[in-house]
Structure 1
Amino acid sequence: MTFAELGIDQDMVEALATKGIIEPFPIQEQTIPMGLAGQDIIGQAKTGTGKTLGFGLPLLQSLGLDPEPGVKALVVVPTRELCVQVAEDLELASSNRATKIVAIYGGKAYEGQVEQLKAGAQVVVGTPGRLLDLASQRMLSLKDVKVMVLDEADKMLDLGFLSDIEKLFAQTSPTRHTMLFSATMPGPIVALARRFMNRPIHIRATDPDEGLTQANIKHVIYRAHSLDKDEVVSRILQAEGRGKTVIFTRTKRAAAKLVEELNDRGFNAAAVHGDLNQEQRERAMAAFKAGKKDILIATDVAARGIDVNDVTHVINHTIPDDHDTYLHRAGRTGRAGKTGIAVTFVDWDDLHKWSLINRALDMGVPEPVETYSSSPHLFTDLDIPVGSKGRLKPSPVPKVEGAASHPPREQRSGDRQRSRTRGGSSHSGTTNTAAEQKPAGAGTHDGTTPARRRTRRRRPSGGAPAAPTS
């Protein structure tokens, strides 16, 4: 099966082929024909299986080759990173068309986004907060929207965007074509779909015998000590065949600390977390995608926007809060049909949390094996060369502030030798220079500072100080 056989226009087929995207994934095979027919869809598939093109290609084709200016399609996403990623995918697919796509999200100035809207952008990909903000200022009109998509709808529920989504729906026409996509489908999302969709068809592109976790991802669970985690991570990063790696931490502070630690050890890491401004986050993501950085340390807020096909390893530095978050983190690897490895560290205090995840996903690992950086099974499990240490470059010698630096022993020895020769003949038998032979207090012919006259004070025992003598 090819995209052309699914009914996709040749210009988009050729645009996708430039990036090696030739054969559709199962979710795309099932949703594209229905999307082209204008059928409302609830698409459910595991992360990394191509949901973006599943709704993106029908959306773009419905607008035509040269759509009129003005917003005709709206894609709502939960995070800034995912907003940028989806916009890039749609721009690729429409690169041979006149369609203009704009990403609308917070953390960036309004002006550039508003200018693109005024220039006639037909497709808007945005986060709920910024979309409503621009709509309330009458800079964004949704009344002519023909196609509306909710991507990663379950995450928007987690982030508390449900009321915002309802407000966005209310600003669009009831006759619009609606598609809702996600990896998991909680009850409130299904209820939302029933309220705002017209007889949707629920498509699950999963193998019923596969289980909840992807079969092409190897899951490794370790019970690790918090003080040894960085050393374990550093050795995993030296595994055979390791490509791009995503490391998840629970807090922003932990992410910032870990990126500093790994860079100090000689690794090439970048971070994406809430304490960075939007420009810094985008720069880190761009460097990771381009391969300039091969390690990305992220909090969960960025997880849905990391759509990179060549991520070989995901490391959960801290255990996720629930099984859905675990699936989304692990789903950053093993994308586009490739294989991947997901390593999870479980602290002693988090064993109960792991027990719930293990039971929900039927992982079959009730007791994670206790693991340290020196454990032999760590090296065999993950193909780490024996003898690998946790540092690629030597640790810098700490400098004590205010302490005088000591020259090498040879230099000190030479200084003492020169010091002994200043008052008389040198070791080679030559006499002192004219300036050295002048009496104390006399100036030198070249204007250098004269030798200082030394005086001594003798204090008689029990008496007043004696007068200085020369």
Structure 2
Amino acid sequence: MRGADVIGRAPTGTGKTLGFGIPILERVLGPEEGTDGRPQALVVVPTRELGLQVSRDIEIAGKLRGIRVLPVYGGRAYEPQIDALRNGVEIVVGTPGRLIDLMKSKHLRLDGVGVVVLDEADRMLDLGFADDVEKLLKQLPEQRQTMLFSATMPDAIVALARRYQHQPVTIHADVAVDTAPSGQVKQLAYLTHSLNKIEVLARILQAKERGLTIVFSRTKRHTQRIADDLDFRGFAVAAVHGDLGQSARERALRAFRSGKIDVLVATDVAARGLDVSDVTHVINYDSPDDADTYVHRIGRTGRAGATGVAVTFINWEDTPRWKIIDKTLNLDLPSPQETYHTSEHLYTDLDIPTDVTGELPTKERQREGLSAEANIDVEGGKHAGGRNKRRRGAGGGGGGRGKPSGERGGERPQSSSQATAESSDGEQKPRRARTRRKVTGDSPAAATGDSTPQASAAEGPARPRRRRRRRPAGEGAAE
């Protein structure tokens, strides 16, 4: 667009990343083209996952020129990001919070930025990043190109564009004035009971031709509960929500993209960061709060012309809200049919075999699962599998395999001071035995092991235990 400010309105999956990424790559200078290492372009995103995806796509597109792209987001150590900025980068992709932190600490210089992109701007405002976004924009040079991309255009986005853009060009990418879901997605809504939702979900996950599936829930705790329940039923599943650390979230997303798991249970925050092309089903386990949330959720399927299925569970108390969503988006689903896991129309609508149960049969559990995905910590190290489990028998528990029943499963590991003392003396020092006094008698119990006689002599004779004398019940009254 020859440097003109742009407002891009398009649903997810329409190629927005390369839409602004390629023009950025054409404008920035590479490491061997006279650049001084300062960031020349800034892309602001609402979530960590979206930032990783955007930076990955731009880095691949600019690989031949050696363009350095740095993803910057919270949940990671500052040092690797600071080192990368010192070494020089051309494009920075980051979340508002971490960008502000690096800018305040003088590690991120914005005086050389000529292009700024606000990706998923409506979501950033929904997450409360409006003030941070404005702080970043105020630190940028006046002469710059500002591109704003959003699936919806609420009043706050329009006001932001008026303040920080100059005569922007508006582009609509295959979307009507009233943003609607993709026509490639088959949309269904069922009136379900909260206690029967998990049974209905277990049947849907056994539909024919089902591929990767995303299940959306409203709260973090509920998201984890759904994932645990599906895991118990034999499905290859993982959860993504705010209570998980960054390493755990990235591990779940890697396993989902690679096909080691085929069910991902997520909150709405994760909805914007997922860019997986072959998601076939999206299930709204909890009804969305508004039309925008509904569009963003089901936008995970039916991407780039592909077909998909979106199923929404509606509780009785959600009915008024759902009618507003239905009317806003012209879904023609104002009165969802009451549905249970035994309802015949559930099986016919979604092509589910009639003989399935609430558990995945053992013979169909072909996925490797989340445990097969390597766990990469925030410093970049890898742990085989996922959880760093303690070796059995290494603690002070019961007897281990191959040991006599009277032996302990393992000795307590020695401290560093003990190891140093043993190595310097050349031989292991005897452990001082602990003595116990007898309840009655005049001498302590015999010391066990290799206790020293000096320790026993120093103790002296034991004092007999004093006996308490009880007064007869009638004695006090007699006095």
- TM-score interval for Structure 1 and Structure 2 normalised by the shorter chain: 0.7 to 0.9
* Contact residue 107 and residue 277 of structure 1 kept, 8 A: yes
- Correspondence for 2:238 among 270, 274, 283: 270
Whole-Å Cα distance in 2 between the matches of residues 315 and 89 of structure 1?
A: 27
Instruction: Look up the SS of the partner of 2:206 in the other structure.
Output: coil
Aligned-residue offset at 1:54: 0.7
Please name the residue that 2:382 is paired with: none
Question: Unaligned stretches of 5+ in structure 1?
Answer: 1-33, 395-470
**2:25 aligned residue (56, 60, 64):** 60
For 1:279, give the aligned amino acid.
S
Equivalent residue, structure 1, for 2:57: 89
> Is the Cα–Cα contact under 8 Å of residues 287 and 313 in structure 2 kept in the other structure?
yes
Partner of 2:7: 42
Aligned-pair CA distance for 1:246: 0.3
Match of 2:90 among 117, 122, 125: 122
Aligned-partner residue type, residue 51 of structure 1: K
Counterpart amino acid of residue 293 in structure 1: I
- Residue 125 (structure 2) aligns with: 157
User: In 2, distance between residues paired with 1:95 and 1:279?
Assistant: 26
SS at match of 2:296: helix
The one-letter amino acid of 1:81's match is E
Aligned equivalent of 2:46: 78
Q: In the alignment, which residue of structure 1 is the partner of 2:394?
A: none
Is 1:104 matched with 2:72? yes
Partner of 2:311: 343
- Asked if the contact 2:203–2:341 (Cα under 8 Å) also holds between the matched residues in 1, the reply is yes
Q: Which residue of 1 aligns with 2:425?
A: none
Q: Which of residues 48, 51, 69 is equivalent to 2:16?
A: 51
TM-score by length of 2: 0.73
- Give the Cα separation in 1 of the matches to 2:142 and 2:249: 37
1:301 aligns with 2:269: yes
2:254 aligned with 1:286, yes or no? yes
Q: How does 1:410-449 map to 2 (within 5 A)?
A: none
Contact kept in structure 2, 1:106 and 1:127, CA below 8 Å: yes
Indicate whether 1:368 and 2:336 are aligned: yes
Are 1:187 and 2:148 counterparts?
no
SS at match of 2:158: helix
Task: Compare CA radii of gyration and give the structure with the larger one.
Answer: 1
Letter in 2 for 1:261: D
The CA deviation at 1:49 is: 0.9
Supply the distance in 1 between the matched residues of 2:87 and 2:153 (Cα, whole angstroms).
37
Using the alignment, how far apart are the partners of 1:366 and 1:50 within structure 2?
32
Deviations 1:280-325 (A, max 9, x none): 0011011111111111100011000011000000000000111000
* Aligned 1:239-258 pairs, distance under 5 A: 239-258=207-226
Shift of 1:159: 1.2
Q: Deviations over 1:162-220 (max 9, x none)?
A: 11111101111011111111111111111111211121101112254997121001100
Q: Is the 8 A contact 1:236 1:382 kept in 2?
A: yes
Structure 2 letter corresponding to 1:375: S
SS at match of 1:71: coil
SS at match of 1:357: helix
| Separation (CA, whole Å) in 2 of partners of 1:112 and 1:233 | 42
CA distance in 1, matches of 2:29, 2:265: 40
Normalising by the residue count of structure 1, what TM-score does the alignment of the two structures yield?
Answer: 0.75
Aligned amino acid, residue 167 of structure 1: K
Residues 403-447 of structure 1 deviation map (CA, whole Å, 9 limit, x = unaligned) = xxxxxxxxxxxxxxxxxxxxxxxxxxxxxxxxxxxxxxxxxxxxx
The equivalent of 2:441 in structure 1 is none
Of 249, 272, 290 in structure 2, the residue corresponding to residue 322 of structure 1 is 290
2:103 is the alignment partner of 1:139: no
Aligned residue for 1:311?
279
Q: Is the 8 A contact 2:178 2:329 kept in 1?
A: no
Indicate the residue corresponding to 2:165 in structure 1. Answer: 197
1:333 is matched with 301
What amino acid is the match of 2:263? Answer: I
SS in 2 for 1:333: coil
C-alpha separation in 2, matches of 1:104 and 1:157:
19
**2:229 maps to what in 1?**
261
**Count, aligned residues:** 359
Question: Partner residue of 1:18?
Answer: none
Q: In 1, Cα distance between the equivalents of 2:302 and 2:29?
A: 34
Task: Report the aligned-residue RMSD.
Answer: 1.4
CA distance in structure 1 between the aligned counterparts of 2:42 and 2:275, rounded to whole angstroms? 20
Give aligned-pair identity as a percent.
Answer: 55
- Listed as ranges, the gaps of 5+ residues in structure 2 are 363-479
Cα distance in structure 2, aligned partners of 1:149 and 1:305:
16
Aligned partners of 1:208, 1:166: CA distance in 2, in Å? 29
Cα distance between partner residues in 2 of 1:65 and 1:335: 32
Change (3 A) 1:337 1:350: same
Match of 1:13?
Answer: none
CA contact (8 A) 1:265 1:393 kept: no
Between 109-118 and 65-74, report the one with greater CA deviation: 65-74
Partner Cα separation in structure 2 for residue 318 and residue 87 of structure 1? 31
For the structure 1 residues 209 and 150, does the alpha-carbon distance in structure 2 shift closer, same or farther, using more than 3 Å as the test? Answer: closer
Report the counterpart of residue 29 of structure 1 in structure 2.
none
